[in-house]
Amino acid sequence: MTHLDYFALVFFIATWGGFNWLTSVERQSSHMSITRAMAIHRARWIQNSLGRDLKMIDTQIMAGLQNGTGFFASASLFALGGCFALLGATDQVEALFRDLPIMLQGGRQGFEMKVGGLAVIFGYSFFKFGWSYRLFNYCSILFGGLPMHAETIKEPERAAKAAERVIALNIIAAKHFNAGLRAIFLSIGYLGWFVNAYVFMAMTVFVFFVLIRRQFFSEARQAILKDMEL
C-alpha cells in the first residue's frame, strides 16, 4: 500500500459521502434529485390511499418494494460469499495474473486487503437491504392499520397522523434501499483498485458522474418532475 493507494481510498470514501449528501439535501424542484422527488410521490401515494377502501393496488406496490429489496439482499450475500471464495483462491489468482504487470499491484497482501475492502462494501449493502426489507415489512403492517374512507372523513386528523407514520417509515426504508444500491454501483469503481490507484480514482469518478446524471439530468428525472407541484 503506497501513499497514492491511501489517497485513492480516501477519495473513494469522500466521493461516496459527497454523493449521499447531494441526493439527500432538500432543494427546489429545478435542482431536486430523483430520490427527493420520489419521496414526495411516496407521500402522495399513501395520502391518496386514504380516499379508497379497496387497497389491493397499494398492497401490490408494497409487495413489489419488498420483493425488489429481497432480491438485492440475496445478490449482496452471494457477492459477499464470492469475496471470501476469492480470498481462498489467492494463489490461483496470482498464478493467473503473474505475467500481467498491471494487475495485482501491491502483491499478495495488497490483493487480500483490496478483496477484504470489497467484502466490506458488499456486507454494508447486505445490511442496508436487509434492514430496508424489514422496514418495508413494518410499513405494510402500519399501512394495514390505515382507517377506511368513512373513518377518514369522520376523523381526518387521526387519519392524517396514521398516514404520516406510514409515509415516514416508507421513506426511511427507501433511504436504506438506495444506500445499499449505491454501494453496489460504487463497488464497480472500487474494482479499478485491482489495477492501480489511478484506475481506481478514474473509475470512481466515472461511476460518480453516471449516478449524478441519473439523479439530476436524466430523462427519468424530467418525467418524474414534469408538472409537479410541490
| Terminal C-alpha separation, the chain | 49
- For position 25, what pLDDT does the model report? 74
Is 196 contained in some domain? yes
CA distances from 211 to 6, 19, 197 (A): 24, 8, 21
Is 124 contained in some domain? yes
pLDDT tens column, 115-129: 899 999 999 999 999
Is 27 contained in some domain? no
Q: How far apart are alpha carbons 197 and 135 in whole angstroms?
A: 38
pLDDT tens column, 202-219: 999 999 999 999 999 999
pLDDT tens column, 56-66: 889 899 999 99
Is 83 contained in some domain? yes
CA distances from 72 to 78, 117, 128, 170, 219 (A): 10, 19, 10, 18, 24
Q: Which range of residues forms the domain containing residue 109?
A: 3-11+38-225
Is 22 contained in some domain? no
CA distances from 3 to 7, 116, 129 (A): 6, 19, 33
Nearest-Å Rg of the Cα atoms of the chain is: 22
Is 17 contained in some domain? no
Instruction: Give the contacts of 176 (CB within 8 A, at least 6 positions apart).
Output: 128, 129, 131, 132, 135
The counts of H helices and E strands in the chain are 9, 0
- Stated pTM of the model: 0.88
State the number of CA atoms in the 13 A half-sphere of 72 facing the CB.
Answer: 26
Is 184 contained in some domain? yes
Is 23 contained in some domain? no
Mean per-residue pLDDT over the chain, rounded: 88
Q: How far apart are alpha carbons 198 and 8 in whole angstroms?
A: 8
Displacement of CA 51 from its chain's centroid (Å): 31
Number of folded domains that form the chain: 1
- For position 195, what pLDDT does the model report? 82
